[in-house]
Chains A and B, each alone.
Chain A
Amino acid sequence: MMRTSDLIASAARALRSNPLRSALTALGVIIGVASVVAMVALGSGAQAQVERSIASLGSNLLIVVPGAQRSGGGVRAQAGAGGGWDALTLGDAEAIAAQVENVAVVAPSQRARTQVIAGGLNWNPQVEGVTPAYLEARDWRIAQGRMFDETEERQARRVIVLGATVANELFPNVDPVGQTARMAGGAYEVIGVLESKGQSGFGMDQDDIVLAPLTTVKRRVSGRRGRGDSVSQISVKAVNEGVLSAVQQDVETLLRQRHRTREGEDDFTVQNLSSITQTAAQTTQVFTYLLGGISAVSLLVGGIGIMNIMLVSVTERTREIGLRKALGARQSDILHQFGLEAVTLSVAGGIIGLTIGVAGAWLMTSLFNLPLVISPLNAGMAIAFSGAVGVVFGAYPAWRAARLDPIEALRRE
Chain B
Amino acid sequence: MALLVDARGLVKLYRMGEETVHALDGVSFTIARGDYCAIVGPSGSGKSTMMNIIGGLDTPTEGKLVIDGADIGAMSDAELAQFRNRAIGFIFQSFNLLPRLTALENVELPMIYGGVEPKARRERAAALLQRVGLGERMGHRPTQLSGGQQQRVAIARALAGKPPLLLADEPTGALDTTTGAEIMALFDELNREGVTIIVVTHDHEVAAAARRTIEMRDGRIVSDRLNERSARHDAHV
The 8 A CB mask of B72-109 against A (1 = contact, 0 = none) is 00000110011011100010100010101000000001
Interface of A is mostly: helix
Instruction: Give residues 45-94 of B contacting A (CB, 8 Å).
Output: 52, 55, 57-58, 77-78, 81-82, 84-86, 90, 92
User: Is A111 on the interface with B (CB-CB < 8 A)?
Assistant: no
Are B100's CB and A13's CB within 8 A?
yes
Chain B residue numbers with a CB within 8 Å of A331 are: 77-78, 81
Chain A residue numbers with a CB within 8 Å of B110 are: 327-328
Q: A319-B96, A323-B96 are in contact. Are A328 and B78 (CB under 8 A)?
A: no
- How many A-B pairs have beta carbons closer than 8 Å: the answer is 62
Q: Which of A1-9, A60-68, A197-205 contacts B (4 or more CB under 8 A)?
A: A1-9
Chain A contact residue count (CB 8 A cutoff):
24
The contact sample of 17 A-B pairs, CB cut-off 8 A, is A1-B113, A3-B112, A6-B112, A17-B100, A319-B96, A324-B109, A325-B84, A328-B81, A328-B85, A328-B110, A329-B81, A329-B113, A330-B78, A330-B82, A331-B77, A407-B57, A410-B96
Chain B residue numbers with a CB within 8 Å of A327 are: 84-85, 90, 109-110, 113, 157
Are A333's CB and B113's CB within 8 A?
yes
Are B113's CB and A407's CB within 8 A?
no
| Complex alpha-carbon distance, A222 and B85, angstroms | 97
User: Is A406 on the interface with B (CB-CB < 8 A)?
Assistant: yes
| Complex alpha-carbon distance, A206 and B125, angstroms | 79
Are B57's CB and A406's CB within 8 A?
yes
The 8 A CB mask of A392-413 against B (1 = contact, 0 = none) is 0000000000000011001000
Chain A residue numbers with a CB within 8 Å of B157 are: 327
Q: Of A1, A324, A326, which is within 8 A of B115 by CB?
A: A1
| Complex alpha-carbon distance, A328 and B157, angstroms | 12
User: Is B161 on the interface with A (CB-CB < 8 A)?
Assistant: yes
Chain B residue numbers with a CB within 8 Å of A332 are: 78
Are A328's CB and B114's CB within 8 A?
yes
User: Is A320 on the interface with B (CB-CB < 8 A)?
Assistant: yes
| Complex alpha-carbon distance, A407 and B167, angstroms | 14
> Measured between C-beta atoms, what is the minimum distance from B82 to chain A in Å?
7
Chain A residue numbers with a CB within 8 Å of B92 are: 410
Residues in B lying within 8 Å of A, measured CB to CB:
52, 55, 57-58, 77-78, 81-82, 84-86, 90, 92, 96, 98, 100, 109-110, 112-115, 118, 157, 161
The 8 A CB mask of A308-340 against B (1 = contact, 0 = none) is 000000000001100111111111110000000
Q: A2-B112, A320-B98, A407-B52 are in contact. Are A326 and B84 (CB under 8 A)?
A: yes
Are A328's CB and B58's CB within 8 A?
no
Are B112's CB and A407's CB within 8 A?
no
Q: Of A5, A13, A320, A328, which is within 8 A of B113 by CB?
A: A328
Chain B residue numbers with a CB within 8 Å of A3 are: 112, 115
Are B57's CB and A326's CB within 8 A?
yes
- List the 8 shortest-distance A-B pairs measured between CB atoms, nearest first: A328-B85, A328-B113, A330-B81, A327-B110, A1-B115, A330-B78, A6-B112, A323-B96
| Complex alpha-carbon distance, A237 and B58, angstroms | 83
| Complex alpha-carbon distance, A406 and B113, angstroms | 16
> Measured between C-beta atoms, what is the minimum distance from A17 to chain B in Å?
5
Query: Whose C-beta in chain B lies nearest to the C-beta of A334?
Result: B81
Chain B residue numbers with a CB within 8 Å of A1 are: 113, 115
| Complex alpha-carbon distance, A328 and B86, angstroms | 8
| Complex alpha-carbon distance, A332 and B81, angstroms | 10
Query: Whose C-beta in chain A lies nearest to the C-beta of B58?
Result: A407
Of residues A1, A323, A326, which shows the largest number of chain B Cβ atoms within 10 Å of its Cβ?
A326
Instruction: Give residues 77-110 of A contacting B (CB, 8 Å).
Output: none
Of residues A1, A13, A328, A331, which shows the largest number of chain B Cβ atoms within 10 Å of its Cβ?
A328
Query: Whose C-beta in chain B lies nearest to the C-beta of A3?
Result: B115
Query: Whose C-beta in chain B lies nearest to the C-beta of A323?
Result: B96
| Complex alpha-carbon distance, A13 and B118, angstroms | 16
> Measured between C-beta atoms, what is the minimum distance from B174 to chain A in Å?
13
| Complex alpha-carbon distance, A222 and B96, angstroms | 97
Instruction: Give residues 1-45 of A contacting B (CB, 8 Å).
Output: 1-3, 5-6, 10, 13, 17
> Measured between C-beta atoms, what is the minimum distance from A243 to chain B in Å?
67
Are A323's CB and B98's CB within 8 A?
yes
Chain A residue numbers with a CB within 8 Å of B161 are: 328
